[in-house]
């Protein structure tokens, strides 16, 4: 089952396209990192998936073909927004009570047990909670609905490093214990690298990269060699070039089996390095495997 499918999906606000020509098929069972700069279209995509807004073009479905916002989709999808909206004058117990009454499925016992484990008193008002407690309460309310897909839109943006670590630990526990699929938008690339096994990278309202992290990393290499030879490299599509006085570093779409030019060395790379390279070169869309992209000429960066 695909937890999210999109075909030609677009969203326009007035004369501006926030998202355009988005086509995706995300299988269940993944922790998906949705990465991109501000204004890339990440929140728009998540809002479309959650049924909070309607598309201007194309089609999007969730959970094996359900229309976003439909009763079946609402039962299986939980959404935590960036500002984790909670009523500051209500206590944690009040929030549990209200959420239980608004949903057809809600595990009150597990929610109370989770808050006790986190040291969040049921009587404490949300307005008196720390940022980490606030985020954990919002996550608890979402997980108590026993979703198949958990959608998180920058939930850690305002958290300190320890609170971010604890929040992600809670998410990964839900993945391990309940088999929840996660679609997570975040700028914290270093933290995403530890937990994500699927990457969607967006820039300027379009999807630049989408695929399993292991496959994407296996299909890219860092090459280092003489700076004077960088301009002539054309064996594989070049995503990004970084030059020093004598040496150049090329991020290319290539596998470990691809032959190296004389005088060059190949090095593996991580998720953060891959994502940053594509963000710097938003036109260099990645393709599965060793296939060439839309433009097989080397990048012009640094020339």
CATH number at residue 13: 3.40.50.300
Q: How many domains does the chain have?
A: 2
Q: Are residues 229 and 207 in the same domain?
A: no
| Measured distance CA(178)–CA(42) in Å, rounded | 26
Longest CA pairwise span in the chain (Å) = 69
Does residue 257 sit within a domain? yes
Q: Are residues 235 and 198 in the same domain?
A: no
Mean pLDDT of the chain: 86
| Measured distance CA(256)–CA(46) in Å, rounded | 35
Predicted local distance difference test score (pLDDT) of residue 193:
85
Domain that holds residue 75: 2-213
- Pick from 184, 159, 189: nearest CA to 279: 189
Q: Are residues 271 and 123 in the same domain?
A: no
| Measured distance CA(272)–CA(189) in Å, rounded | 5
pLDDT digits (tens, 9 = 90+) for 95-147: 999 999 999 899 999 999 999 999 999 999 999 999 889 999 999 999 999 99
Does residue 300 sit within a domain? no
Q: Are residues 17 and 119 in the same domain?
A: yes
Q: Which of 10-14, 158-162, 243-247 has the lowest mean pLDDT?
A: 243-247
Q: Are residues 205 and 266 in the same domain?
A: no
Q: Are residues 121 and 188 in the same domain?
A: yes
Q: Are residues 62 and 166 in the same domain?
A: yes
**Residues whose CB is less than 8 angstroms from the CB of residue 21 and which lie 6 or more positions away in sequence, other chains included:** 8, 9, 10, 58, 206
Q: Are residues 199 and 223 in the same domain?
A: no
Are 73 and 5 in contact by the 8 Å Cβ rule? The answer is no
Q: Is 211 helix (H, G, I), strand (E, B) or coil?
A: strand
Q: Are residues 155 and 208 in the same domain?
A: yes
- At residue 303 the predicted structure's pLDDT band, cuts being 50, 70 and 90, is very low
Predicted local distance difference test score (pLDDT) of residue 46:
95
What is the sign, positive or negative, of the torsion defined by CA atoms of 44, 73, 62, 156? positive
Is residue 214's pLDDT more than 80? yes
Domain boundary among 213, 232, 256: 213
Does residue 287 sit within a domain? no
Domain boundary among 167, 192, 213: 213
pLDDT digits (tens, 9 = 90+) for 233-270: 767 788 888 877 778 888 888 888 888 877 888 888 88
Helix 161-178 and helix 131-143, axial crossing angle in degrees, nearest 10: 10
pTM given for the model: 0.85
């Amino acid at each position: 089952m695909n937890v999210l499918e999109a075909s030609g999906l677009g969203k326009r606000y007035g004369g501006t396209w926030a998202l355009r020509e988005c086509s995706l098929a995300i299988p269940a069972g993944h922790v998906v990192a949705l990465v991109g700069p501000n204004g890339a279209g990440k929140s728009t995509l998540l809002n479309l998936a959650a049924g909070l807004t309607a598309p201007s073009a194309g089609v999007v479905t969730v959970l094996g073909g359900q229309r976003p916002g439909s009763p079946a989709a609402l039962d299986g999808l939980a959404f935590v927004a960036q500002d984790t909206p909670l009523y500051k004058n209500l206590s944690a117990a009040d929030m549990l009570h209200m959420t239980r009454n608004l949903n057809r499925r809600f595990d009150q016992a597990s929610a109370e047990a989770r808050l006790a484990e986190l040291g969040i008193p049921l009587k404490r008002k949300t307005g008196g909670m720390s940022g980490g407690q606030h985020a954990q309460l919002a996550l608890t309310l979402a997980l108590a609905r026993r979703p198949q897909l958990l959608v998180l839109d920058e939930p850690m943006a305002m958290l300190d490093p320890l609170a971010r670590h604890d929040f992600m630990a809670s998410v990964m526990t839900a993945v391990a214990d309940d088999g929840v699929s996660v679609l997570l938008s975040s700028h914290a690339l270093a933290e995403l690298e530890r937990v994500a096994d699927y990457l969607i990278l967006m820039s300027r309202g379009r999807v630049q990269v989408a695929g399993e992290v292991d496959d994407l990393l296996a299909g890219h290499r860092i090459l280092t060699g003489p700076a004077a030879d960088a301009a002539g490299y054309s064996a594989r599509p070049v995503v990004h070039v970084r030059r020093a006085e004598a040496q150049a570093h090329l991020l290319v779409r290539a596998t470990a089996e691809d032959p190296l030019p004389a005088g060059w060395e190949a090095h593996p790379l991580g998720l953060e390095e891959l994502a940053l390279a594509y963000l710097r070169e938003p036109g260099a869309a990645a393709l599965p495997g060793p296939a060439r992209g839309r433009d097989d000429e080397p990048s012009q960066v640094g020339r």
